[in-house]
Amino acid sequence: MAKIIVTTSGKGGVGKTTTSASFSTGLAARGKKVAVIDFDVGLRNLDLIMGCERRVVFDFVNVLQGEANLRQALIRDKTYENLSILAASQTRDKDALTLEGVEKVLNDLVAEGFEYIICDSPAGIEKGAHHAMYFADEALIVTNPEVSSVRDSDRVLGLLQAKTRNAEKGIKVKEHLVLTRYNPERVERGEMLSVKDVQDILAIPLLGVIPESPTVLTSSNSGVPVIADAMSAAGQAYTDLVSRFLGEDKPHRFMHVEKKGFFNKLFGG
């Protein structure tokens, strides 16, 4: 049975789209048939991060308004044939989305045999975010280790349990915490919240800690999800995250300051 998963957070710029791109790519790498939808109508960034911006002919709104069918609008990933992207429109606004239209697109994706449908939510808690989360079975709550980001994520958790289809049926949306831009050195200096601080506030299971890394920006600019960079800490962290999501027991990494060996200390490494 298909799972609909929203990647969400109240605050902008925390790494939702980066997470959606790497999460969907990681699932596809494990043989799952995956579709990822950009709900950020009017802005559109998912296609850039996934390196398919020049291949967008029809978008999400075109499908909703009957100007194209789903198969015309889906873009197949260049690396994984079992991964498809549905881009957002840059020329419309979020009023183009309706719950009825979104439901039809999701049902059509299920009928096409997609096992996982990732809904990349826009920032905030307004209409676009509501449409992205309304049909979700599970949610990736993406947050940075800072008070404002965590507070906004807490607000989103309330909406997930009150304003979704599952909530209306008395079914809980399964929540997963994804903590991005984490820097244990800054945590030790008291400049960031710790993993435990964030967990204590949000009280949801930790799925992954993504370390602060310039590789994330470099990968985004080159149109390749950072999970594809197996040598980078961020890429490894996203790979671990996907494994945990699929039920594997993977210890969390990148949460503590690495202790330097004798020779590193001696030579300033």
Q: For residue range 9-21, list pLDDT tens digits in order.
A: 988 889 999 999 9
The predicted structure's pLDDT at residue 220: 87
The answer, yes or no, to whether residue 262 has pLDDT greater than 90, is no
Residue 267 has pLDDT above 80, yes or no: no
Contacts of 167 (CB under 8 A, 6+ apart): 160, 161, 173
Q: CA end-to-end span of the chain, whole Å?
A: 50
Task: Compute the residue count for the chain.
Answer: 269
Give the pLDDT confidence score for residue 268 in this predicted structure: 53
Please give the Cα distance from 207 to 231 (Å, whole number).
Answer: 21
How many C-beta atoms lie closer than 10 Å to residue 229's C-beta?
A: 21
